[in-house]
Amino acid sequence: MIVTRPAMPAEFADAQRFYDACGYGGAAIVPTDTVILAREQERIVAIGRLCHEGGLLCLRGMQVHQDFQRQGLGTQVLRELERAIGDTPCYCLPYGHLVTFYAQAGFARVGPDELPELLRERLANNLQRGLDVIAMVR
């Protein structure tokens, strides 16, 4: 049975190891992040988090272990993150093919000119690195 829930701070090191194993190259987890884990017993199989950056709330680091993809775990994690977001504006910079996935949680695509400077720079950097990412806000 897989259980999806907020991580306790004591689980952040395991969550970071999961990110590292997935090859996630984003910023490291910090104590102010809200981390949502999907676990099969003690094994992390999916993760997502909310980060407070420069006065903004950002959804980052959605990852599902390759052996558990296409089973709805990403959607379960996204639902938990959606509850944590509440009515606060939230940004994300997902891969372009995930527009529909994030739209199910109320995210809508926006142009770079509609982003705060911090995210406009991150988007430009990701695009320059050849990543097929877009900007979305909820």
Q: For residue 64, what are the β-bridge partners?
A: 46
Q: Which domains does the chain possess? A: 2-137 (3.40.630.30)
Q: Rounded to an integer, what is the distance from CA 122 to the centroid of its chain?
A: 15
CA angle 113, 136, 27 (to 5 degrees): 95
pTM over 0.85: yes
Instruction: Please list the pLDDT of the chain residue by residue as tens digits (138 residues).
Output: 899 999 999 999 999 999 999 988 778 899 999 999 999 998 999 999 999 998 999 999 999 999 999 999 999 999 999 999 999 999 999 999 999 999 999 999 999 999 999 999 999 999 999 999 999 999
State the distance between the two ends of the chain, measured CA to CA, in whole angstroms: 31
CA angle 33, 87, 95 (to 5 degrees): 60
Q: Which two tokens stand for residue 113?
A: 């000119």
Q: List phi, psi (to 5°) of 5.
A: -165, 165
Phi-psi region of 86 (alpha: psi -120 to 50; beta: other; left: phi over 0): left
